[in-house]
Structure 1
Amino acid sequence: MKKNVFLMVLFFSISLFANENMYTSTVKNLFENSTSDAVKGRLLPTSKVTILEKNNGKIKIQVEGYMKEGVSNAIYFVKEKRILVAGLSKSAKFDIKKISTEKALDGVKWSKVILTAYTKDNNLTKDLDSLYSKAQELFKNNCAICHPAHPVREFTANQWPSMFKAMVDRTAIPKMDRYLVTQYLQKHAKDMKGE
Protein backbone atom coordinates (compact mmCIF):
# COMPACT_ATOMS: atom_id res chain seq x y z
CA MET A 1 0.00 0.00 0.00
CA LYS A 2 2.73 2.46 1.01
CA LYS A 3 4.68 1.56 -2.13
CA ASN A 4 1.63 2.25 -4.32
CA VAL A 5 1.06 5.65 -2.68
CA PHE A 6 4.74 6.51 -3.09
CA LEU A 7 4.64 5.55 -6.79
CA MET A 8 1.49 7.61 -7.33
CA VAL A 9 3.08 10.66 -5.65
CA LEU A 10 6.27 10.19 -7.67
CA PHE A 11 4.32 9.85 -10.93
CA PHE A 12 2.23 12.93 -10.10
CA SER A 13 5.28 15.04 -9.24
CA ILE A 14 7.05 14.02 -12.46
CA SER A 15 3.99 14.48 -14.68
CA LEU A 16 3.10 17.78 -12.99
CA PHE A 17 6.05 19.42 -14.72
CA ALA A 18 5.83 17.53 -18.01
CA ASN A 19 5.70 19.79 -21.06
CA GLU A 20 6.09 22.95 -18.97
CA ASN A 21 7.79 25.77 -20.91
CA MET A 22 10.50 27.77 -19.15
CA TYR A 23 13.35 30.12 -20.10
CA THR A 24 16.98 29.93 -19.02
CA SER A 25 18.19 32.88 -16.96
CA THR A 26 21.90 32.02 -17.16
CA VAL A 27 24.25 29.85 -19.18
CA LYS A 28 23.34 26.27 -18.25
CA ASN A 29 25.36 23.08 -18.63
CA LEU A 30 23.90 20.28 -20.72
CA PHE A 31 24.32 16.57 -19.99
CA GLU A 32 23.61 13.56 -22.22
CA ASN A 33 21.66 11.69 -19.53
CA SER A 34 20.33 12.07 -16.00
CA THR A 35 23.24 10.33 -14.29
CA SER A 36 26.11 12.00 -16.12
CA ASP A 37 28.14 14.86 -14.67
CA ALA A 38 30.18 15.30 -17.86
CA VAL A 39 29.26 18.64 -19.43
CA LYS A 40 28.64 18.08 -23.14
CA GLY A 41 27.08 21.41 -24.05
CA ARG A 42 25.87 24.80 -22.92
CA LEU A 43 22.46 26.41 -23.20
CA LEU A 44 22.38 30.21 -23.45
CA PRO A 45 20.14 32.61 -21.49
CA THR A 46 16.59 33.34 -22.74
CA SER A 47 16.44 29.95 -24.47
CA LYS A 48 13.00 28.35 -24.31
CA VAL A 49 13.00 24.83 -22.93
CA THR A 50 10.19 22.34 -22.57
CA ILE A 51 10.54 20.31 -19.38
CA LEU A 52 9.74 16.65 -19.97
CA GLU A 53 10.50 15.35 -16.48
CA LYS A 54 12.23 16.21 -13.22
CA ASN A 55 14.27 13.72 -11.27
CA ASN A 56 16.98 14.00 -8.58
CA GLY A 57 17.85 17.65 -9.21
CA LYS A 58 18.07 17.29 -13.00
CA ILE A 59 15.49 17.89 -15.65
CA LYS A 60 15.02 16.32 -19.03
CA ILE A 61 14.38 19.08 -21.55
CA GLN A 62 13.69 19.65 -25.21
CA VAL A 63 14.93 22.70 -27.08
CA GLU A 64 13.90 23.72 -30.60
CA GLY A 65 16.19 25.53 -32.98
CA TYR A 66 18.02 25.40 -36.28
CA MET A 67 21.22 23.68 -37.38
CA LYS A 68 23.23 24.89 -40.33
CA GLU A 69 24.39 22.26 -42.81
CA GLY A 70 27.93 21.18 -41.89
CA VAL A 71 27.74 22.61 -38.34
CA SER A 72 26.69 19.82 -35.98
CA ASN A 73 27.67 21.43 -32.69
CA ALA A 74 25.55 24.60 -32.72
CA ILE A 75 21.81 25.17 -32.50
CA TYR A 76 20.57 28.60 -33.48
CA PHE A 77 17.43 30.59 -32.59
CA VAL A 78 16.46 31.28 -36.22
CA LYS A 79 17.84 30.46 -39.67
CA GLU A 80 20.63 32.58 -41.15
CA LYS A 81 21.42 34.43 -37.92
CA ARG A 82 24.13 33.62 -35.40
CA ILE A 83 21.90 33.75 -32.32
CA LEU A 84 23.17 30.74 -30.45
CA VAL A 85 20.70 28.71 -28.40
CA ALA A 86 23.07 25.84 -27.54
CA GLY A 87 26.69 25.00 -28.17
CA LEU A 88 27.50 21.29 -28.10
CA SER A 89 30.72 19.36 -27.68
CA LYS A 90 31.86 17.68 -30.88
CA SER A 91 32.03 14.38 -28.99
CA ALA A 92 28.48 14.73 -27.61
CA LYS A 93 25.86 12.11 -28.42
CA PHE A 94 22.65 14.04 -27.78
CA ASP A 95 19.29 13.00 -29.16
CA ILE A 96 18.72 15.52 -31.99
CA LYS A 97 15.72 15.02 -34.26
CA LYS A 98 15.38 16.85 -37.58
CA ILE A 99 11.88 18.21 -38.13
CA SER A 100 12.36 19.84 -41.52
CA THR A 101 15.07 21.15 -43.86
CA GLU A 102 15.07 24.09 -46.24
CA LYS A 103 17.54 26.13 -48.26
CA ALA A 104 18.27 29.73 -47.37
CA LEU A 105 18.71 32.47 -49.96
CA ASP A 106 22.45 31.81 -50.10
CA GLY A 107 21.83 28.11 -50.88
CA VAL A 108 22.85 26.82 -47.43
CA LYS A 109 20.55 24.19 -45.93
CA TRP A 110 19.10 24.76 -42.47
CA SER A 111 17.32 22.06 -40.48
CA LYS A 112 14.75 22.71 -37.79
CA VAL A 113 15.68 20.40 -34.92
CA ILE A 114 14.63 19.33 -31.45
CA LEU A 115 17.42 18.63 -28.97
CA THR A 116 16.69 16.41 -25.98
CA ALA A 117 19.16 16.80 -23.11
CA TYR A 118 19.46 17.06 -19.34
CA THR A 119 20.35 20.04 -17.20
CA LYS A 120 20.24 20.98 -13.53
CA ASP A 121 16.90 22.06 -12.13
CA ASN A 122 17.80 25.71 -11.45
CA ASN A 123 18.04 29.13 -13.10
CA LEU A 124 14.78 28.79 -15.03
CA THR A 125 11.84 31.16 -15.17
CA LYS A 126 8.46 31.41 -16.86
CA ASP A 127 8.91 35.18 -17.17
CA LEU A 128 10.93 35.94 -20.31
CA ASP A 129 10.02 39.64 -20.08
CA SER A 130 11.81 39.97 -16.72
CA LEU A 131 14.98 38.56 -18.29
CA TYR A 132 14.76 41.04 -21.15
CA SER A 133 14.07 43.88 -18.68
CA LYS A 134 17.15 42.97 -16.66
CA ALA A 135 19.29 42.84 -19.80
CA GLN A 136 17.86 46.14 -21.05
CA GLU A 137 18.69 47.85 -17.74
CA LEU A 138 22.22 46.44 -17.69
CA PHE A 139 22.77 47.65 -21.24
CA LYS A 140 21.25 51.08 -20.68
CA ASN A 141 22.95 51.73 -17.32
CA ASN A 142 26.40 50.57 -18.40
CA CYS A 143 26.68 51.34 -22.08
CA ALA A 144 25.66 54.98 -21.79
CA ILE A 145 28.42 56.01 -19.38
CA CYS A 146 31.00 57.06 -22.00
CA HIS A 147 28.68 57.84 -24.91
CA PRO A 148 24.98 57.67 -25.75
CA ALA A 149 23.84 54.05 -25.79
CA HIS A 150 23.30 52.64 -29.26
CA PRO A 151 19.63 51.98 -30.03
CA VAL A 152 18.96 48.24 -29.84
CA ARG A 153 17.65 48.28 -33.41
CA GLU A 154 20.78 50.02 -34.77
CA PHE A 155 22.58 46.76 -35.60
CA THR A 156 21.63 43.36 -36.99
CA ALA A 157 21.53 40.18 -34.94
CA ASN A 158 24.84 39.09 -36.48
CA GLN A 159 26.53 42.47 -35.81
CA TRP A 160 25.60 42.84 -32.13
CA PRO A 161 27.94 40.23 -30.58
CA SER A 162 31.13 41.83 -31.92
CA MET A 163 29.87 45.37 -31.18
CA PHE A 164 29.02 44.40 -27.59
CA LYS A 165 32.22 42.40 -27.08
CA ALA A 166 34.35 45.37 -28.19
CA MET A 167 32.97 47.53 -25.36
CA VAL A 168 31.79 45.23 -22.57
CA ASP A 169 35.14 45.09 -20.72
CA ARG A 170 34.82 48.85 -20.14
CA THR A 171 31.54 48.35 -18.29
CA ALA A 172 30.46 47.00 -14.91
CA ILE A 173 28.29 44.30 -16.48
CA PRO A 174 29.09 41.10 -14.56
CA LYS A 175 30.58 38.28 -16.64
CA MET A 176 27.68 36.00 -15.73
CA ASP A 177 25.23 38.47 -17.34
CA ARG A 178 27.09 39.19 -20.57
CA TYR A 179 25.44 36.41 -22.55
CA LEU A 180 22.06 37.57 -21.25
CA VAL A 181 22.67 41.08 -22.62
CA THR A 182 24.00 39.71 -25.91
CA GLN A 183 20.91 37.53 -26.33
CA TYR A 184 18.66 40.51 -25.60
CA LEU A 185 20.45 42.68 -28.16
CA GLN A 186 20.42 39.99 -30.84
CA LYS A 187 16.79 39.00 -30.34
CA HIS A 188 15.71 42.67 -30.53
CA ALA A 189 18.02 43.68 -33.40
CA LYS A 190 16.81 45.59 -36.44
CA ASP A 191 16.48 42.42 -38.55
CA MET A 192 14.50 40.48 -35.93
CA LYS A 193 11.08 42.06 -36.43
CA GLY A 194 8.33 39.51 -36.06
CA GLU A 195 10.59 36.74 -34.70
Structure 2
Amino acid sequence: MRKINKTLALMMTLGAIVGVAIVLATQWTMHKTSSTEFCLSCHTMQAPYEEYTGSVHFQNQKGIRAECADCHIPQSGMDYLVTKLVASKDIYHQFISKKIDTPEKYEEHRLEMAQTVWAQLKANDSATCRSCHSMDAMDLEAQSADARKMHEMGINEQQTCIDCHKGVAHFPPEIKMDDSALTALEAQAASVPASAKEVYVVRNASLGDLGTIYPATQMKVLSSAGASREVEIRGSQMQGTEQIIYYAAGQRLVLASLSEKGQQAVKPLSDWQADDYGNQWRDVALQGTWNAPALADREPMWDYARKLDNVYCAGCHAPIPASHFTLNAWPSVAKGMGARTNISDSELDILSRYFQYNAKDMKK
Protein backbone atom coordinates (compact mmCIF):
# COMPACT_ATOMS: atom_id res chain seq x y z
CA MET A 1 0.00 0.00 0.00
CA ARG A 2 2.82 2.36 0.95
CA LYS A 3 4.57 1.56 -2.33
CA ILE A 4 1.41 2.47 -4.27
CA ASN A 5 1.09 5.73 -2.32
CA LYS A 6 4.73 6.59 -2.99
CA THR A 7 4.28 5.84 -6.71
CA LEU A 8 1.13 7.97 -6.83
CA ALA A 9 2.83 10.81 -4.97
CA LEU A 10 5.82 10.60 -7.33
CA MET A 11 3.56 10.64 -10.37
CA MET A 12 1.63 13.63 -9.01
CA THR A 13 4.86 15.46 -8.28
CA LEU A 14 6.22 14.73 -11.75
CA GLY A 15 2.87 15.75 -13.23
CA ALA A 16 2.96 19.00 -11.31
CA ILE A 17 6.53 19.67 -12.45
CA VAL A 18 5.63 18.89 -16.06
CA GLY A 19 2.50 21.04 -15.76
CA VAL A 20 4.46 23.98 -14.37
CA ALA A 21 7.10 23.49 -17.06
CA ILE A 22 4.42 23.49 -19.77
CA VAL A 23 2.80 26.64 -18.33
CA LEU A 24 6.16 28.41 -18.06
CA ALA A 25 7.16 27.27 -21.55
CA THR A 26 3.81 28.45 -22.91
CA GLN A 27 4.16 31.82 -21.20
CA TRP A 28 7.74 32.16 -22.47
CA THR A 29 6.63 31.24 -26.00
CA MET A 30 3.69 33.64 -25.86
CA HIS A 31 5.99 36.41 -24.63
CA LYS A 32 8.70 35.77 -27.22
CA THR A 33 6.23 35.53 -30.10
CA SER A 34 4.74 38.87 -29.03
CA SER A 35 8.03 40.74 -29.28
CA THR A 36 8.80 43.22 -32.03
CA GLU A 37 11.93 41.21 -32.82
CA PHE A 38 9.84 38.10 -33.52
CA CYS A 39 7.49 40.10 -35.78
CA LEU A 40 10.49 41.32 -37.77
CA SER A 41 11.76 37.78 -38.33
CA CYS A 42 9.32 37.74 -41.28
CA HIS A 43 10.88 39.89 -43.99
CA THR A 44 7.46 41.07 -45.20
CA MET A 45 7.14 42.93 -41.89
CA GLN A 46 9.95 45.31 -42.87
CA ALA A 47 7.62 47.65 -44.78
CA PRO A 48 5.08 48.06 -41.94
CA TYR A 49 7.98 48.36 -39.49
CA GLU A 50 9.45 51.26 -41.46
CA GLU A 51 6.02 52.92 -41.50
CA TYR A 52 5.78 52.45 -37.74
CA THR A 53 9.23 53.99 -37.13
CA GLY A 54 8.00 57.15 -38.83
CA SER A 55 4.98 57.42 -36.56
CA VAL A 56 4.41 59.14 -33.22
CA HIS A 57 4.01 55.73 -31.59
CA PHE A 58 7.70 55.02 -32.26
CA GLN A 59 9.24 58.39 -31.43
CA ASN A 60 7.65 61.35 -29.67
CA GLN A 61 8.37 64.21 -27.30
CA LYS A 62 7.29 62.18 -24.26
CA GLY A 63 9.69 59.32 -25.00
CA ILE A 64 6.97 56.66 -24.77
CA ARG A 65 7.19 53.90 -27.36
CA ALA A 66 4.44 51.47 -28.23
CA GLU A 67 5.81 48.16 -29.49
CA CYS A 68 3.96 45.87 -31.92
CA ALA A 69 2.25 43.91 -29.14
CA ASP A 70 1.09 47.07 -27.38
CA CYS A 71 -1.14 47.89 -30.33
CA HIS A 72 -1.96 44.46 -31.75
CA ILE A 73 -2.26 42.14 -28.72
CA PRO A 74 -4.66 42.74 -25.81
CA GLN A 75 -2.96 42.38 -22.45
CA SER A 76 -5.09 39.61 -20.93
CA GLY A 77 -8.24 37.51 -21.02
CA MET A 78 -9.89 35.76 -23.94
CA ASP A 79 -9.08 38.68 -26.27
CA TYR A 80 -5.38 37.89 -25.72
CA LEU A 81 -5.79 34.18 -26.47
CA VAL A 82 -8.04 34.77 -29.48
CA THR A 83 -5.65 37.34 -30.92
CA LYS A 84 -2.66 35.00 -30.53
CA LEU A 85 -4.61 32.21 -32.20
CA VAL A 86 -5.74 34.40 -35.09
CA ALA A 87 -2.20 35.76 -35.53
CA SER A 88 -0.94 32.27 -36.32
CA LYS A 89 -2.55 32.59 -39.75
CA ASP A 90 0.05 35.24 -40.65
CA ILE A 91 2.80 32.68 -40.09
CA TYR A 92 0.85 30.17 -42.18
CA HIS A 93 0.44 32.64 -45.06
CA GLN A 94 4.09 33.70 -44.82
CA PHE A 95 5.70 30.27 -44.91
CA ILE A 96 3.14 27.76 -46.18
CA SER A 97 0.52 29.34 -48.45
CA LYS A 98 3.06 32.05 -49.55
CA LYS A 99 0.15 34.48 -49.72
CA ILE A 100 2.15 37.43 -48.31
CA ASP A 101 5.74 36.22 -48.67
CA THR A 102 6.85 39.08 -50.94
CA PRO A 103 6.42 42.87 -50.64
CA GLU A 104 4.27 42.84 -53.78
CA LYS A 105 1.92 40.17 -52.38
CA TYR A 106 1.83 42.00 -49.04
CA GLU A 107 0.66 45.19 -50.75
CA GLU A 108 -1.90 43.23 -52.72
CA HIS A 109 -3.47 42.02 -49.47
CA ARG A 110 -2.85 45.15 -47.37
CA LEU A 111 -6.52 46.22 -47.42
CA GLU A 112 -7.75 42.75 -46.44
CA MET A 113 -5.29 42.57 -43.53
CA ALA A 114 -6.06 46.11 -42.39
CA GLN A 115 -9.79 45.41 -42.39
CA THR A 116 -9.19 42.32 -40.23
CA VAL A 117 -7.29 44.40 -37.65
CA TRP A 118 -9.89 47.18 -37.75
CA ALA A 119 -12.67 44.64 -37.18
CA GLN A 120 -10.81 43.14 -34.19
CA LEU A 121 -10.30 46.55 -32.60
CA LYS A 122 -13.89 47.49 -33.27
CA ALA A 123 -15.10 44.25 -31.64
CA ASN A 124 -13.00 44.66 -28.48
CA ASP A 125 -13.66 48.43 -28.17
CA SER A 126 -10.04 49.28 -29.09
CA ALA A 127 -8.76 47.46 -26.00
CA THR A 128 -5.08 47.90 -26.84
CA CYS A 129 -5.51 51.62 -27.52
CA ARG A 130 -7.28 52.05 -24.19
CA SER A 131 -4.43 50.37 -22.33
CA CYS A 132 -2.59 53.69 -22.80
CA HIS A 133 -5.31 56.17 -23.81
CA SER A 134 -8.45 56.82 -21.80
CA MET A 135 -11.23 59.23 -22.73
CA ASP A 136 -11.80 59.82 -19.02
CA ALA A 137 -8.19 60.95 -18.60
CA MET A 138 -8.23 63.32 -21.60
CA ASP A 139 -8.09 67.04 -20.90
CA LEU A 140 -10.27 68.11 -23.81
CA GLU A 141 -9.77 71.81 -23.06
CA ALA A 142 -6.02 71.41 -23.61
CA GLN A 143 -6.56 69.93 -27.08
CA SER A 144 -6.81 71.83 -30.35
CA ALA A 145 -10.28 73.01 -31.33
CA ASP A 146 -10.57 70.36 -34.07
CA ALA A 147 -9.37 67.51 -31.83
CA ARG A 148 -11.69 68.59 -29.02
CA LYS A 149 -14.65 68.74 -31.40
CA MET A 150 -13.93 65.28 -32.82
CA HIS A 151 -13.41 63.68 -29.39
CA GLU A 152 -16.62 65.24 -28.07
CA MET A 153 -18.44 63.85 -31.10
CA GLY A 154 -16.84 60.44 -30.50
CA ILE A 155 -18.00 60.42 -26.89
CA ASN A 156 -21.54 61.52 -27.76
CA GLU A 157 -21.86 58.92 -30.54
CA GLN A 158 -20.15 56.18 -28.49
CA GLN A 159 -17.43 55.62 -31.05
CA THR A 160 -14.29 53.64 -30.33
CA CYS A 161 -10.69 54.70 -31.06
CA ILE A 162 -10.31 52.73 -34.29
CA ASP A 163 -13.35 54.47 -35.80
CA CYS A 164 -11.18 57.54 -36.39
CA HIS A 165 -7.56 56.44 -35.93
CA LYS A 166 -7.01 53.82 -38.61
CA GLY A 167 -3.77 55.22 -40.00
CA VAL A 168 -1.87 56.12 -36.83
CA ALA A 169 1.12 53.77 -37.23
CA HIS A 170 0.90 52.31 -40.74
CA PHE A 171 0.02 53.69 -44.14
CA PRO A 172 -3.65 53.15 -44.88
CA PRO A 173 -4.38 50.87 -47.85
CA GLU A 174 -4.62 52.54 -51.23
CA ILE A 175 -8.32 52.48 -52.01
CA LYS A 176 -9.62 53.48 -55.42
CA MET A 177 -13.25 53.71 -56.38
CA ASP A 178 -14.05 52.12 -59.71
CA ASP A 179 -15.73 54.05 -62.48
CA SER A 180 -18.99 52.09 -62.45
CA ALA A 181 -20.76 54.42 -60.00
CA LEU A 182 -19.88 57.52 -62.02
CA THR A 183 -20.82 55.76 -65.27
CA ALA A 184 -24.23 54.87 -63.78
CA LEU A 185 -24.69 58.48 -62.63
CA GLU A 186 -23.92 59.84 -66.10
CA ALA A 187 -26.25 57.28 -67.71
CA GLN A 188 -29.02 58.41 -65.38
CA ALA A 189 -28.37 62.04 -66.33
CA ALA A 190 -28.51 61.17 -70.04
CA SER A 191 -31.93 59.57 -69.58
CA VAL A 192 -33.61 62.58 -67.95
CA PRO A 193 -36.56 63.60 -70.16
CA ALA A 194 -36.74 66.97 -71.88
CA SER A 195 -39.90 67.71 -69.88
CA ALA A 196 -37.95 68.09 -66.62
CA LYS A 197 -38.70 71.46 -65.00
CA GLU A 198 -35.31 71.74 -63.31
CA VAL A 199 -32.01 69.93 -63.78
CA TYR A 200 -28.73 69.58 -61.90
CA VAL A 201 -25.21 69.56 -63.33
CA VAL A 202 -23.19 66.31 -63.12
CA ARG A 203 -19.82 67.45 -64.46
CA ASN A 204 -18.22 70.84 -65.11
CA ALA A 205 -19.65 72.04 -68.43
CA SER A 206 -20.03 75.23 -70.42
CA LEU A 207 -23.20 77.27 -70.57
CA GLY A 208 -22.59 78.28 -74.16
CA ASP A 209 -19.90 80.96 -74.14
CA LEU A 210 -21.13 82.50 -70.87
CA GLY A 211 -19.01 80.46 -68.48
CA THR A 212 -18.63 77.13 -66.66
CA ILE A 213 -21.31 75.57 -64.46
CA TYR A 214 -20.27 73.26 -61.60
CA PRO A 215 -21.67 69.96 -60.26
CA ALA A 216 -24.96 70.00 -58.31
CA THR A 217 -25.88 73.51 -59.52
CA GLN A 218 -29.62 73.83 -59.99
CA MET A 219 -30.88 75.12 -63.34
CA LYS A 220 -34.51 76.03 -63.99
CA VAL A 221 -35.59 74.81 -67.44
CA LEU A 222 -37.28 77.61 -69.41
CA SER A 223 -37.72 75.61 -72.63
CA SER A 224 -36.24 72.60 -74.42
CA ALA A 225 -35.66 71.39 -77.96
CA GLY A 226 -34.16 67.92 -78.33
CA ALA A 227 -31.04 67.65 -76.16
CA SER A 228 -30.80 71.45 -75.85
CA ARG A 229 -32.36 73.32 -72.94
CA GLU A 230 -32.76 77.02 -72.23
CA VAL A 231 -32.03 77.33 -68.53
CA GLU A 232 -31.74 79.91 -65.77
CA ILE A 233 -29.35 79.89 -62.80
CA ARG A 234 -29.98 82.02 -59.73
CA GLY A 235 -27.47 82.90 -57.05
CA SER A 236 -25.49 85.80 -55.61
CA GLN A 237 -22.51 87.90 -56.67
CA MET A 238 -20.02 89.59 -54.37
CA GLN A 239 -18.77 93.01 -55.37
CA GLY A 240 -15.19 92.69 -56.63
CA THR A 241 -15.59 89.08 -57.76
CA GLU A 242 -18.40 89.46 -60.30
CA GLN A 243 -16.96 86.61 -62.37
CA ILE A 244 -18.34 84.16 -59.77
CA ILE A 245 -21.95 83.26 -58.96
CA TYR A 246 -22.26 81.93 -55.41
CA TYR A 247 -25.12 79.98 -53.85
CA ALA A 248 -26.24 82.89 -51.63
CA ALA A 249 -24.93 86.03 -49.95
CA GLY A 250 -22.12 85.09 -47.58
CA GLN A 251 -22.23 81.43 -48.64
CA ARG A 252 -19.18 80.72 -50.79
CA LEU A 253 -20.49 77.72 -52.65
CA VAL A 254 -19.57 78.37 -56.29
CA LEU A 255 -22.33 77.70 -58.81
CA ALA A 256 -20.64 79.15 -61.90
CA SER A 257 -17.58 81.04 -63.09
CA LEU A 258 -18.35 83.54 -65.83
CA SER A 259 -16.61 84.71 -68.96
CA GLU A 260 -16.58 88.41 -69.80
CA LYS A 261 -19.67 87.88 -71.92
CA GLY A 262 -21.29 85.96 -69.06
CA GLN A 263 -20.73 88.84 -66.65
CA GLN A 264 -22.43 91.18 -69.08
CA ALA A 265 -25.38 88.76 -69.45
CA VAL A 266 -26.06 88.58 -65.69
CA LYS A 267 -29.39 90.13 -64.61
CA PRO A 268 -29.40 91.78 -61.15
CA LEU A 269 -32.40 90.79 -59.02
CA SER A 270 -31.63 93.05 -56.07
CA ASP A 271 -29.51 96.04 -55.06
CA TRP A 272 -26.11 95.63 -53.44
CA GLN A 273 -26.38 94.91 -49.70
CA ALA A 274 -23.64 94.62 -47.09
CA ASP A 275 -23.16 91.45 -45.04
CA ASP A 276 -21.89 91.32 -41.45
CA TYR A 277 -18.31 91.70 -42.69
CA GLY A 278 -18.92 94.68 -44.95
CA ASN A 279 -18.90 92.71 -48.22
CA GLN A 280 -21.46 93.85 -50.80
CA TRP A 281 -23.75 91.18 -52.28
CA ARG A 282 -26.61 91.11 -54.77
CA ASP A 283 -28.93 88.40 -56.07
CA VAL A 284 -28.56 87.64 -59.78
CA ALA A 285 -29.89 85.42 -62.55
CA LEU A 286 -28.17 84.08 -65.66
CA GLN A 287 -29.90 82.50 -68.66
CA GLY A 288 -28.25 80.44 -71.36
CA THR A 289 -28.25 77.28 -73.47
CA TRP A 290 -27.39 73.94 -71.85
CA ASN A 291 -26.44 71.01 -74.09
CA ALA A 292 -24.91 68.52 -71.63
CA PRO A 293 -26.68 65.73 -69.68
CA ALA A 294 -28.10 66.72 -66.30
CA LEU A 295 -29.93 65.03 -63.41
CA ALA A 296 -33.55 65.62 -62.45
CA ASP A 297 -32.56 65.97 -58.76
CA ARG A 298 -29.42 65.91 -56.59
CA GLU A 299 -30.08 62.67 -54.70
CA PRO A 300 -28.33 60.33 -57.21
CA MET A 301 -25.27 62.59 -56.99
CA TRP A 302 -25.43 62.52 -53.18
CA ASP A 303 -25.57 58.70 -53.31
CA TYR A 304 -22.39 58.81 -55.38
CA ALA A 305 -20.82 61.30 -52.94
CA ARG A 306 -21.64 59.05 -49.98
CA LYS A 307 -19.86 56.20 -51.77
CA LEU A 308 -16.83 58.45 -52.24
CA ASP A 309 -16.99 59.32 -48.54
CA ASN A 310 -17.13 55.64 -47.59
CA VAL A 311 -14.21 54.70 -49.87
CA TYR A 312 -11.79 57.58 -49.35
CA CYS A 313 -12.72 59.08 -45.97
CA ALA A 314 -13.92 56.09 -43.95
CA GLY A 315 -10.67 54.29 -44.81
CA CYS A 316 -9.03 56.41 -42.10
CA HIS A 317 -11.81 57.53 -39.76
CA ALA A 318 -15.50 57.26 -39.08
CA PRO A 319 -17.67 59.25 -41.49
CA ILE A 320 -18.08 62.86 -40.37
CA PRO A 321 -21.64 64.17 -40.77
CA ALA A 322 -21.98 66.96 -43.33
CA SER A 323 -23.69 69.00 -40.60
CA HIS A 324 -20.49 68.93 -38.52
CA PHE A 325 -18.91 71.93 -40.32
CA THR A 326 -20.22 75.12 -41.91
CA LEU A 327 -20.68 75.55 -45.65
CA ASN A 328 -17.67 77.89 -45.89
CA ALA A 329 -15.44 75.64 -43.75
CA TRP A 330 -15.99 72.39 -45.69
CA PRO A 331 -13.85 73.10 -48.82
CA SER A 332 -10.62 73.56 -46.84
CA VAL A 333 -11.41 70.58 -44.58
CA ALA A 334 -12.16 68.32 -47.57
CA LYS A 335 -9.12 69.54 -49.50
CA GLY A 336 -6.80 68.93 -46.54
CA MET A 337 -8.11 65.42 -46.00
CA GLY A 338 -8.32 64.64 -49.72
CA ALA A 339 -4.60 65.37 -50.09
CA ARG A 340 -3.94 62.27 -47.95
CA THR A 341 -5.75 59.99 -50.39
CA ASN A 342 -5.67 59.27 -54.12
CA ILE A 343 -9.10 60.78 -54.74
CA SER A 344 -9.24 62.62 -58.06
CA ASP A 345 -9.90 66.36 -58.30
CA SER A 346 -13.32 65.82 -59.88
CA GLU A 347 -14.33 63.29 -57.20
CA LEU A 348 -13.15 65.62 -54.44
CA ASP A 349 -15.15 68.49 -55.96
CA ILE A 350 -18.37 66.45 -55.90
CA LEU A 351 -17.68 65.24 -52.35
CA SER A 352 -16.96 68.81 -51.17
CA ARG A 353 -20.19 70.03 -52.73
CA TYR A 354 -22.14 67.24 -51.01
CA PHE A 355 -20.74 68.42 -47.68
CA GLN A 356 -21.47 72.07 -48.50
CA TYR A 357 -25.04 71.54 -49.67
CA ASN A 358 -25.73 69.60 -46.46
CA ALA A 359 -23.66 71.75 -44.05
CA LYS A 360 -25.03 72.80 -40.68
CA ASP A 361 -25.64 76.42 -41.73
CA MET A 362 -26.95 75.73 -45.22
CA LYS A 363 -29.73 78.12 -46.17
CA LYS A 364 -32.23 76.24 -48.29
TM range (shorter): 0.7 to 0.9
**Aligned residues of 1:17 and 1:52 also touching (Cα < 8 A):** no
Aligned to 2:257: 87
Structure 1 vs Structure 2 CA RMSD: 2.4
**Aligned residues of 2:194 and 2:226 also touching (Cα < 8 A):** no
Aligned to 2:360: 190
SS in structure 1 at match of 2:269: strand
Aligned to 1:162: 332
1:120 equivalenced with 2:321 (yes/no) = no
SS in structure 1 at match of 2:284: strand
SS in structure 1 at match of 2:323: helix
Task: Name the CA distance, whole Å, in 1 between partners of 2:195 and 2:285.
Answer: 16
SS in structure 2 at match of 1:176: helix
1:29 equivalenced with 2:200 (yes/no) = no
Displacement of 1:55: 4.3
Distance 1:59 1:148, change over 3 A: same
Equivalent residue for 1:129, pick from 294, 299, 303 = 299
Higher RCO by CA contacts (8 Å cutoff, separation 6 or greater): 1
Displacement of 1:89: 2.6
Counterpart amino acid of residue 115 in structure 1: L
More strand by share: 1
Unaligned 5+ segments in structure 1 are: 1-15, 33-39
Displacement of 1:51: 1.9
1:64 equivalenced with 2:234 (yes/no) = yes
Task: Name the CA distance, whole Å, in 2 between partners of 1:107 and 1:17.
Answer: 43
Task: Name the CA distance, whole Å, in 1 between partners of 2:226 and 2:295.
Answer: 19
| Residues 143-192 of structure 1 deviation map (CA, whole Å, 9 limit, x = unaligned) | 01122333322221111111111222433544433221111111111222
Task: Name the CA distance, whole Å, in 2 between partners of 1:147 and 1:71.
Answer: 37
| Residues 20-41 of structure 1 deviation map (CA, whole Å, 9 limit, x = unaligned) | 2111122222213xxxxxxx42
Distance 1:19 1:110, change over 3 A: farther
Aligned to 1:13: none
| Residues 43-72 of structure 1 deviation map (CA, whole Å, 9 limit, x = unaligned) | 111111012233474332110000011211
Larger radius of gyration between Structure 1 and Structure 2: 2
Task: Name the CA distance, whole Å, in 1 between partners of 2:274 and 2:333.
Answer: 29
User: Bigger shift: 165-174 or 135-144?
Assistant: 165-174
Task: Name the CA distance, whole Å, in 1 between partners of 2:227 and 2:254.
Answer: 25
More helix by share: 2
- Give the % identical residues: 26
Unaligned 5+ segments in structure 2 are: 1-192
Length, aligned pairs only = 171
1:177 equivalenced with 2:354 (yes/no) = no
Counterpart amino acid of residue 185 in structure 1: F
User: Bigger shift: 179-188 or 16-25?
Assistant: 16-25
Aligned to 1:107: 278
* Deviation beyond 6 Å, 4+ runs, structure 1: none
Counterpart amino acid of residue 282 in structure 2: S
